[in-house]
Amino acid sequence: MDSARTHSTSPSDDVRTTGPTGRALATEAVHAGRDDLAALGLHAPPIDLSTTYPSYDSRGEAARIDAFATTGADPDGPPVYGRLGNPTVARFETALARLEGTEAAVAFASGMAALSAVLLVRASAGLRHVVAVRPLYGCSDHLLTAGLLGSEVTWTDPAGIADALRPDTGLVLVESPANPTLAEVDLRAVAHACGSVPLLVDNTFATPVLQRPAGHGARLVLHSATKYLGGHGDVLAGVVACDEELAGRLRQVRFATGGVLHPLAGYLLLRGLSTLPVRVRAASANAAVLVERLAADPRVARVHYPRIGGAMVSFEVHGDPHEVIGRVRLITPAVSLGSVDTLIQHPASISHRIVDADDRRGAGVGDRLLRLSVGLEDVDDLWADLDRALGERTAGASSSREALVRAD
Ligand SMILES: *Cc1c(COP(=O)(O)O)cnc(C)c1O
């Protein structure tokens, strides 16, 4: 792995960081976005399904639309129309911003809709060039490589970022830990290399429980909220945490292009956030046990696990990875991640299939790599399933502690 990739921080630094309210992360997870509920006489947040908002004051509505067109700030009072904003979704946005330590957050219909909006914001400022570090989630790679939104990408390693910047560079994009190899970048060093160009960190794998990139200099923090933030495999969503200026531009793009989040999804995400720290820590403890057992197993060639920890594990098998997928019974053989149940998938066949095979292998996504999203089941039950799925223990395969590759 690239030697420039090192861990950015110890996880305990971030877990203990308190937000602008002076409260700890675990407290914010339960209370942020709900501060007004007791005064409303409510315990659970209300779900506002309105697509439109009646008003007898059309002069006032015109002023609110003009203000939104100028700043992109959330309208004062009712949002006029559902594409400008939604009070239930706004609760989730408030909560996520507090967890990531940013001024604002803007939610979208999916992680890809969120990334698309960021690219459109930068392109509309005439800054179409993107510098990015592989590996990225397969569809993020595809969106950039195919230039679907008119962007042009330069792929580099973290040490090459400063040299790759051009006058028209609008964004630097990294994932850490990266999907699916769990490679990490030194966020502080990367942010420094970006200079005045905004750095976007896809924080989907780490979640704000393990890492808060804004504190290390990232101007934009992106999540596929479909994964850990929702946490139960029943919501498709994306969100960008950032400063209020960029949030305004993102809301304007969301209004104009329509990738809004449904209010029910906003409710489920807010509910998911309240258990995020507990879920991430419990799943990470399971993952650490499985990492030890996989690394000691002769059927496993390499195990990838990031220094900051977490519940994602990747490993390369000596045998046929398709056979392993076919043999799991308790573990769910499915793409996606971050759910309460454990999922396994073969990146070269599914999550990263859309990436050109040479680019994929060049980014460290080998054909024998399997990606495991560890859930909340009993760890011995998980190991029993994995052990059986790995198949016969053949003689001759090497087993040593060196099989564990920290993602650096
Ligand atoms: C899944 C994923 C995405 C895309 O999110 P969707 O919600 O599926 O659109 C982006 N980045 C990472 C790291 C992901 O795992």
Query: How does 365-402 read in b/e, with b if 16+ C-beta sit within 10 Å?
Result: bbebbbbbbbbbbebeebbebbeebbeeeeeeeeeeee
Q: pLDDT value at position 408?
A: 44
Over residues 3-17, mean pLDDT? 43
pLDDT at 5: 37
Residue limits of CATH 3.90.1150.10 in the chain: 277-403
Per residue in 87-104, pLDDT tens?
999 999 999 999 999 999
Measure CA 17 to chain center: 20
Mean pLDDT on 306-312 = 98
Residue 314 in tokens: 């990747």
Residue 142 burial (CB < 10 Å; 0-12/13-18/19+)?
middle
Tell me if residue 202 is catalytic: yes
> Which residues, other chains included, contact 187 with Cβ-Cβ below 8 Å and sequence gap of 6+?
8, 9, 174, 176, 201, 211, 213, 216, 217, 218
Closest ligand 1 atom to Cα of 238? 7
Class of the CATH domain delimited by 11-125+202-275: alpha beta
CA of 236 to the centre of ligand 1 (A): 9
Which residue is catalytic, options 23, 83, 281, 293?
A: 83
Answer yes or no: is pLDDT of 239 > 60.
yes
CA quadruple 160, 165, 171, 173: dihedral, nearest 10? -10
What percent of the chain is predicted at pLDDT more than 90? 89
Tokens of 75: 């309208």
Q: What residues contact 384, with CB distance under 8 A and at least 6 apart?
A: 330
Per-residue pLDDT tens over the stretch 376-386: 999 999 999 99
Q: What is the mean pLDDT of residues 158-187?
A: 98
Q: What pLDDT digit, counting tens, does each position of 102-141 carry?
A: 999 999 999 999 999 999 999 999 999 999 999 999 999 9
Which residues sit with their C-beta closer than 6 Å to ligand 1? 110-112, 137, 139-140, 175, 179, 202, 204, 224, 226-227, 236, 238
Which of the following is catalytic: 137, 228, 267, 305?
137
Average pLDDT over residues 163-181: 98
Q: What is the pLDDT of residue 2?
A: 35
Residue 401 is among the residues annotated as catalytic for this protein: no
Long-range contacts of 193-198 (CB under 8 A, 24+ apart): 193/158, 193/161, 193/162, 194/161, 194/162, 194/165, 195/162, 195/165, 197/131, 197/165, 197/169, 197/170, 197/171, 197/172, 198/122, 198/170, 198/171, 198/172, 198/246
Superfamily of domain 277-403: Aspartate Aminotransferase, domain 1 (3.90.1150.10)
Residue 293 pLDDT grade (very low, low, confident, very high; cuts 50, 70, 90): very high
**What pLDDT is recorded for position 9?**
40
Mean pLDDT of 139-156: 98
> What integer is the mean pLDDT of 207-228?
98
Rounded to two decimals, what is the model's pTM?
A: 0.94
368 is known as an active-site residue: no
Listed residue (134, 176, 185, 177) closest to 359, CA to CA: 134
The Å distance, Cα 137 to ligand 1 centre, comes to: 6
What residue spans in the chain does CATH classification 3.40.640.10 cover?
A: 11-125+202-275
Give the CA angle between residues 310, 407, 130 to the nearest 5°: 95
Q: What is the mean pLDDT of residues 2-31?
A: 63
Q: Whose CA is nearest to atom 5 of ligand 1?
A: 111
- Provide the mean pLDDT of the chain: 93
Q: How far is the CA of 373 from the centre of ligand 1 (A)?
A: 14
Residue 8: pLDDT band with limits 50, 70, 90: very low
Whether residue 395 is predicted with pLDDT greater than 70 in this model: the reply is no
